[in-house]
Structure 1
């Protein structure tokens, strides 16, 4: 079986023996020579504390975060969202972030010796894990973990400017809500570049009921109670009127 080692400025191939793939949820630091068969469902660029640029990803068969540093340009180039890969010779580290996109306590770190081959898709799943509205409203969903939500858009506000203390510039936000089939409501706020994108998507719709899917959104609490959900710049996703057959559309509350 041929596979590829992708380094900073070249690609080579060589032959290796078949190795049993592990489910990403079963990975731990005791496994020798781990191998996984995964799809990239999210990818973004971030900066480390030492100002090193890196690509961060979420893999599935079962969600786990992964890191790929900028010097691995060849590997970074091929690992696109939606594609499937067989990956081996990587490090399994304890996850140390304050906000987690998955509930997996481990983190995959790829290096220039990581072996990667693109493969045919294993499943057609969208890998959403939708949270229950009432669990969020009652404080039963832990704010450490990002969530997926879907519902009908209501109460969509105007594009509002605000001063972003991190970027030191004027940016924008929009307040809106999602309702589910039981007409339970979750308040949401979208910030930054995604607010601009959302504004144009919302204004381009003509449907009386507009379905919206949020993935990797963060729960915000205030004085111990649920406040709203909000996006994390570069990580969160928003899709309006998605083509997802298993999602039922709530009736219009108006």
Structure 2
């Protein structure tokens, strides 16, 4: 027997342990420093078959048991503890569960067959993004077609700013979003963009965020999509079952990569 994440108690209950079957949606390693040196840390973002996501912090003594669990694996965890606290990084609110899990040294982990073939994306419509009501702390998933890509900024500049690369993506209704990646993400985006690909490049942005910037010499603002730092991901021409299909329309003398677009905003995969 196991519990769905939505059925876990909302707070810590003494001597109550949970058995769950989940996919490792994200895996985050870190380190913290004490007077005795540095200690590795390990956290997961776990998702169950219904798409509920919860953060889980691995106890120091359980680190060795869970260190080699790969991102994307389906696992059964026994003896996890519900905590009333949350690991919700205020800059990256990825969890959809109000509490979090602590994985103690007594917890066990075993691989299981996948319970779902979903990728657990929750695609936001481009029109919703342009509504301007998104909090930058909340990540979103987008799927579209690359329209334009700018140049990667120089490695060094007088302002000491991170490297960046701007690009735009469009949806099936030719709604365009302006996007910009920074630092590591910008370099990876540029590297993959410069590799051989077709005239049409479909793109998924996962865990990116909406930002607003003031238009120069104006009191108005414009929306842009910015990368989510260490947590964000992107894919070019992803080969993933269950994604919204591609369609071609308006074929003619102007038919080009911008005419091959995706369908399926507001869908989950």
What is the TM-score normalised by the length of structure 2?
0.75
What residue is the counterpart of 1:253 in the other structure? 258
Question: What is the CA-CA distance between 1:211 and the residue it aligns to?
Answer: 0.4
Report the counterpart of residue 238 of structure 2 in structure 1.
Answer: 242
Corresponding residue to 1:177 among 157, 165, 168: 168
Contact 2:165-2:180 at 8 Å conserved across structures: yes
Q: Does 1:23 align with 2:10?
A: no
For structure 1, which runs of at least 5 residues remain unmatched after alignment? 1-19
Report the RMSD for the aligned CA atoms in angstroms: 2.8
- Select the residue among 63, 66, 69 that pairs with 1:79: 69
Match of 2:22 among 38, 44, 52: 38
Match of 1:131 among 107, 114, 124: 124
Q: Give the TM-score normalised by structure 1.
A: 0.79
Which residue does 1:191 correspond to in 2? Answer: 182
Shift of 1:49: 9.0
Q: Per-residue displacement from partner, 1:104-158 (whole Å, max 9, x unpaired)?
A: 2222222222222221221221111111111111024343321111111122111
- Aligned pairs for 1:9-158 (under 5 A) are 20-27=1-8, 28-29=10-11, 32-47=16-31, 53-61=40-48, 62-68=52-58, 72-93=62-83, 94-95=85-86, 96-98=88-90, 99-158=92-151
Report the structure number with the largest CA radius of gyration: 2
- Deviation for aligned residue 1:182: 0.9
Report how many residues are paired.
Answer: 232
Once residues 108 and 227 of structure 1 are traced to their aligned partners in structure 2, the CA distance between those partners, rounded to angstroms, is 35
Is there any run of 5+ residues in structure 2 with no aligned partner, and where?
Answer: 215-219, 249-256, 260-269
Work out whether residues 102 and 146 of structure 1, in 8 Å CA contact, stay in contact via their aligned partners in 2: no
Please say if residues 17 and 82 of structure 2, whose CA atoms lie closer than 8 Å, have aligned partners that are also in contact: no
